[in-house]
Amino acid sequence: MLFKSSLEDRVEKAKNNLDEINKLIEEYKPFIASTIQKRTGRFLEYGRDDELTIGMLAFKEAIDSFDKSKGRFLNFAKHVINLRMIDYYRKTKKEGSIISLELINQQDDENIIDIGAVRALEEYEKEKENEARKLEILQYKNELSNWQIEFSDLVKISPKQEKLRRLYKDVARLIIDNKELLDILVDKKRLPIKEIEKLTGIHRKKLERGRTYIISLVIVMEGDYPYLKEYTNWR
């Protein structure tokens, strides 16, 4: 995230701090449960099902071993949780017909993989990408809310004219490339309209009308939002 500490930053700071680790685990209990329930296909309850205890331990393991340079934490945590669930089910012989990528890869190495396994892998990858998109949108919504911007309002505020959309995108690019403008936006929570008008000659009223749209673009462009960048055709 651009304007608040990202989850990845929080994870890095939480290492070797048990209180912060416990806070993160408590906050992401729904994520842990959702990840495991997708594997088991049944509802699980904290305090009753061993799988959730394994999931929380795996989430802590993910925090301890996470490297921010390697990507998004939740993707990494999901991978660790799934690996620990595979270990758990192998030990307890409860996995049954649940398909795992590890088992599919083993079959592939032995040249006995069938078309059903291939399709299962394709579906898994598609589901993984969809989940990443959902998490990215959720993170974007949360960051917009810090600016009193509703995600649902973005369609309403988007300029109808392509020429105006390009103009506002150019302004957003200017802000990102100009440290002074970006600092004003971040530190003072305001669009530096006077400064932008002076640099570009764009009338302040036009800038004021596009304030929310420009800020929402800057958040996407400067933040960790690869899918939204693709959608906005920024790259």
Per-residue pLDDT tens over the stretch 128-166: 677 778 888 888 888 888 888 988 888 888 888 889 999
User: Which residues, other chains included, contact 4 with Cβ-Cβ below 8 Å and sequence gap of 6+?
Assistant: 143, 146
Confidence of residue 5 (pLDDT cuts 50, 70, 90): low
Residue 96 has a pLDDT of: 46
Instruction: Output phi, psi for 217, to 5 deg.
Output: -70, -45
- The Cα 131–Cα 20 span in angstroms is 25
- The Cα 229–Cα 224 span in angstroms is 9
- Return the percentage of the chain with pLDDT > 90, whole number: 37
What is the CB neighbour count within 10 angstroms for residue 81? 24
Residue 51 has a pLDDT of: 92
Closest CA to 213 of 181, 170, 178, 184: 170
- The Cα 115–Cα 191 span in angstroms is 54
Q: Token digits for 129?
A: 């990408």
Query: For the residues 184-200, what does the mean pLDDT come to?
Result: 92
pLDDT of 17-62, one tens digit each? 999 999 999 999 999 999 998 888 888 889 898 999 999 999 999 9
The yes-or-no verdict on residue 199 having pLDDT over 90 is: yes
Contact by Cβ (8 Å): 194, 200: no
The yes-or-no verdict on residue 195 having pLDDT over 70 is: yes
More confident residue, 81 or 94: 81
User: Which residues, other chains included, contact 208 with Cβ-Cβ below 8 Å and sequence gap of 6+?
Assistant: 193
Confidence of residue 105 (pLDDT cuts 50, 70, 90): very low
- The Cα 73–Cα 1 span in angstroms is 13
The yes-or-no verdict on residue 204 having pLDDT over 90 is: yes
- Return the percentage of the chain with pLDDT > 70, whole number: 80
- The Cα 147–Cα 195 span in angstroms is 20
> What does pLDDT average to over the chain?
81
- The Cα 5–Cα 2 span in angstroms is 8
Residue 233 has a pLDDT of: 61
Q: Token digits for 121?
A: 């892998």
Query: For the residues 82-97, what does the mean pLDDT come to?
Result: 72
